[in-house]
Amino acid sequence: MKYEYQKVCADCIKGLPQRTTDVIKRRFGLSGQRETLETIGQSYGITRERVRQIEAEGFSKIKPRIKENQKLFKYFENVLASFGGLKREDDLLEVLAGDKYQNHVSFLLSNGDGFNRFPEDNDFYSFWTIKKEPVKQAKKVVKSTINRFKKEKRTLSLKELLKNQKLNKDVFVSYIGISKEIQKNPEEKFGLRGWLEINPRGVKDRAYLVFKRQEKPLHFADVAILIDKLPFPCQAKTHIATVHNELIKDERFVLVGRGLYALKEWGYEPGVVKDIIVKTLKDSSKPLSKKEILNKVSKQRFVKENTIALNLQDRDYFERDSQGRYTIKQA
């Protein structure tokens, strides 16, 4: 439904004292950008409190005129009701006014009866509601959804989140939309804002996402290419050298071959080939044959068997018994 928001606002402030009109226009950005009480006060050489008083005096004269637009406010009320009686401010203004007349709609809502604005705080974005009851319900939904994320420890699609929900899609999305903790990534998956799957920070987190998606060891040059293919916005092309440096420094990644890296959480142990042989023998309850060692170490390192065999020949670390089995040399 289309309304001439500019005309409605102009009619509401028509005939007000010039300074009052100017203050209201500048406060709500009806003729340009919104301005603060401080900025307006400085231009008139008055205190910000005096500007607030002028604004309040104007509102007292505007409200009776606004009541003449019952159909418009009924429309606002119906839109809010379709979202469960509550909607994040920027989303509501987008729905009602698109990109052009959001300041005008904000002005009208601020003067309409029955519309309540809750300002932004540490946990929630600013939002509008037509009743106070939806606020309690929305915060309850937000809390239970956050707890679900903490329990499942993974991102979820909207379809998964809606499973066993009594609320319809629009209401549920509106309720969780006021939360700063719950966010959606470019792949339309929801999660907690601190998760790297939602807000990856830098090359190392993006590299981690690449490994999680590919589910296999990768060469650092391939990781650089795949980072640039992630759906998350990136300011510049990823440099191969940068990726290599980040993988070396981050304990989440293990060098498993020449330029090949894997995730430590997959069971790969850090260290050079000799370290892996030592650990393999320590973990064994009995001496191991060369073939057994080759098989076990090859699962940890993508190197030639000759490289493993050469390391086994180090007499300072390993001993071979009469049956050709290896143990760690005793100090």
pLDDT of 277 higher than 80 = yes
Cβ atoms of 76 and 115 closer than 8 Å: yes
pLDDT of 2 higher than 80 = no
What pLDDT is recorded for position 31? Answer: 87
- pLDDT digit string (tens) for 116-173? 999 999 999 999 999 888 999 999 999 999 999 999 999 999 999 999 889 999 999 9
Strands (E), 140-250: 156-157, 182-184, 189-192, 218-219
Q: Once rounded to an integer, what is the mean pLDDT over residues 249-266?
A: 96
- Backbone φ and ψ for 95, nearest 5 degrees, come out as -65, -45
Helices 102-111 and 70-82: crossing angle, nearest 10°?
100
Cβ atoms of 151 and 117 closer than 8 Å: no
If you ran DSSP here, which 8-state letter would residue 266 be given? G
Measured CA to CA in angstroms, residue 315 lies from 43, 58, 210, 301 at distances of 85, 92, 40, 22
Give me 284's structure tokens: 């064994």
> How confident is residue 330, by pLDDT bands cut at 50, 70 and 90?
confident
Cβ atoms of 114 and 19 closer than 8 Å: no
| 102-107: long-range pairs with CB below 8 Å, 24+ | 103/28, 103/29, 103/30, 103/34, 104/5, 104/6, 104/8, 104/9, 104/28, 104/30, 105/5, 105/76, 106/28, 107/9, 107/24, 107/28, 107/30
Helix (H) or strand (E) holding 289: strand 288-289
Report the 10 Å Cβ neighbour count for 145: 21
- pLDDT digit string (tens) for 183-222? 999 999 999 999 999 999 899 999 999 999 999 999 999 9
Among 229, 125, 117, residue whose Cα is nearest residue 183: 125
SS3 251: coil
pLDDT of 1 higher than 70 = no
Q: How do the residues of the chain divide into helix, strand and coil, expressed in percent and rounded to 5?
A: 55, 10, 35
- pLDDT digit string (tens) for 91-109? 999 999 988 899 999 999 9
Give me 55's structure tokens: 């604004």
Helices 5-13 and 48-66: crossing angle, nearest 10°?
110
Report the share of the chain in percent with pLDDT over 90.
Answer: 86
What pLDDT is recorded for position 118? Answer: 96
Q: Once rounded to an integer, what is the mean pLDDT over residues 47-61?
A: 93
Kindly report the average pLDDT of the chain as a whole number: 93
Give me 138's structure tokens: 């929305």
- pLDDT digit string (tens) for 65-76? 877 788 899 999
